[in-house]
Amino acid sequence: MSVLFWVWILIMESHAAEVIRAHSGGAVVLNPFLQLQLKQDVRWTHPHLVVSLKNNVTACHHGRCELRPDGSLSFSHIQTADSGNYSLEVFEEDGRRVLRRDFQLLVDDLSSSSALVTVLILLLLLLFFIILFIINRKRKLRIRHSGPLEENLYVEMHSHRGNKREEECHYVPCNPAVSVETPIPAQSSEEDVYM
């Protein structure tokens, strides 16, 4: 029973895919680090890709990847569409498969993450300006309700009311030119008016 378990583990390890991460727009190399013999054929397959040294198909149809003479597959200007499972197979001259390795390429879309960061920064700036506007508005309302720090003239005029004598008047007295005690004649003639 334990022998079957160890065989199963060895089979799973041989088919485990090597995970390679890359950023969109960058370059990446899927390198199996092989020592190729002169007559061996290297073939990389992907759902929409087959490149082979033997058939002299060393470039992808989209022009972003290339099969190198050492058996590695290099990508330039990688895109998220390039993500997926890539299989490497090495064949002898008679067609017998010598090696099979799987690579899983994960491409992070850097443009969407940078756009997200840009949007977050803009939202934070907008929030900052809104907070500044609210704080400034509250300060202005506080000053308007409390009023400016001016001296109250009414209080200043009557501030020493208890200390002053009652005779002092703040107003100028109005003395009439005609005395109230002067009698006005009951009848006057026109001659008296022009004296």
Third-level CATH fold of 12-108: Immunoglobulin-like (2.60.40)
d(CA 92, CA 64): 28
Closest CA to 15 of 104, 101, 106: 101
d(CA 11, CA 66): 30
The pLDDT tens digits along the chain (195 residues) read 665 555 455 555 555 678 888 878 888 888 888 777 777 888 888 887 788 777 777 788 788 888 888 888 888 888 888 888 988 888 888 888 888 889 888 888 766 667 788 889 999 999 999 999 999 998 888 877 665 555 555 555 555 555 555 556 666 666 666 555 656 555 655 655 555
Pairing mode, strands 18-23 and 97-108? parallel
Rg (CA), the chain: 51
> Domain segments of the chain: what residues?
12-108, 110-147
Q: What is the dihedral of CA 160, 165, 171, 177, to 10 degrees?
A: 180
